[in-house]
Structure 1
Amino acid sequence: MDVILLERIAKLGQMGETVKVRDGFARNYLLPLGKALRANESNKKRFESERATLEARNLERKSEAQTVAEKLDGKAFVIVRSAGETGQLYGSVAARDIVETLSSEGFNVGRNQVELNTPIKAIGLHNVVLHLHAEVEITIVVNVARSADEAERQTKGESLTSADAIYGVDEDALKPEDFFDPEADGQDEDDA
């Protein structure tokens, strides 16, 4: 189906372009959300008459997204979750959880604006991309930790999943002799 785009859509085209898309994509997404019109003569005339209004609205949305992006720039958000000794979460952190954290900090971001291909399943610092507008994209840091204290330590660069963080042991100081004693198994070096 041919449609006229009413706004820029990533990997599809710019505002005003006539593009060919699959029928289901047009019927179920583009047309109901007002992102496109069917490409026929009456809609082409309608688009041309409303073009200035659409461009002004798009510019306004973009400037709002730029403002939010400037406020979010360089921010890190802490999410506290239960996790095992190895740092594996007992649940996961999904886009919904990130949106809830952002809204508690005063940022209004939709779940569809969070680009998270797979849920976060381990503690640590994770970069998450937010698409605030078709032309505005920003990366935030999500700090997933077991407590606020651990989140602070992770921010400073301390690893919480290595042996020294879990057991209080310096991995580099360990030697094989520390784990294996040839006399402990009943054999002397002379018997071997």
Structure 2
Amino acid sequence: MEVTGVYHGYGSRHVLRGIDLKLPLGRLVGIVGENGAGKSTLLRILCGELRPNQGTVRHRGRFGYCPQQAILNDALTVRQHLMYFRSAYGLANLRHAEAIMEELRLGAYADERAGLLSGGTRQKLNLTLALMHDPEVLLLDEPYQGFDWDTYQRFWDLADRLRTAGRSVLVVSHLAYDTERLDELWRLDDGTLSPTATVSA
């Protein structure tokens, strides 16, 4: 993914002021910023939900997006969500989704309605839906909120395996957790992105 000269505002309020970002294959990158810094606006632009006032975003290959707020149908079970997204993605089977569910310990809830799931379990489903079509580029907005410690560690192990498999992973958060796991860390402040020191080789 390559982002060049992205500007966006709401009326007279300038939220993004010339964002440039490259997300190469096989990199795990973080963006941190305070609440209201423009992180959600940037992610909406990166995933194509919002058109910037100026600038370009180029994707190569499939991408997955895990929003901060899980968009689920509370009346459907976990399995029904998977079947719906399988059809939307045009997948031949659910093998990849089932492997992710096993990794996140979600399989036991396959026949539970989403409305009965805890916040952390809903987030596991949210992440599974973003990953089940094996995207080359993955955009994650506060992906581990609600996770217990074990699931939190499993998330980072999964992110590391995705990087090793040549995927591009962008994690956006309001706090810089586990920065030693990242290849790059950027800070979004006053509408601009600035790099911090490279945090891994």
Q: TM-score range by the shorter chain?
A: under 0.3
TM-score under structure 1 length normalisation: 0.22
**Higher RCO structure, 1 or 2 (CA under 8 Å, sep 6+):** 2
TM-score under structure 2 length normalisation: 0.21
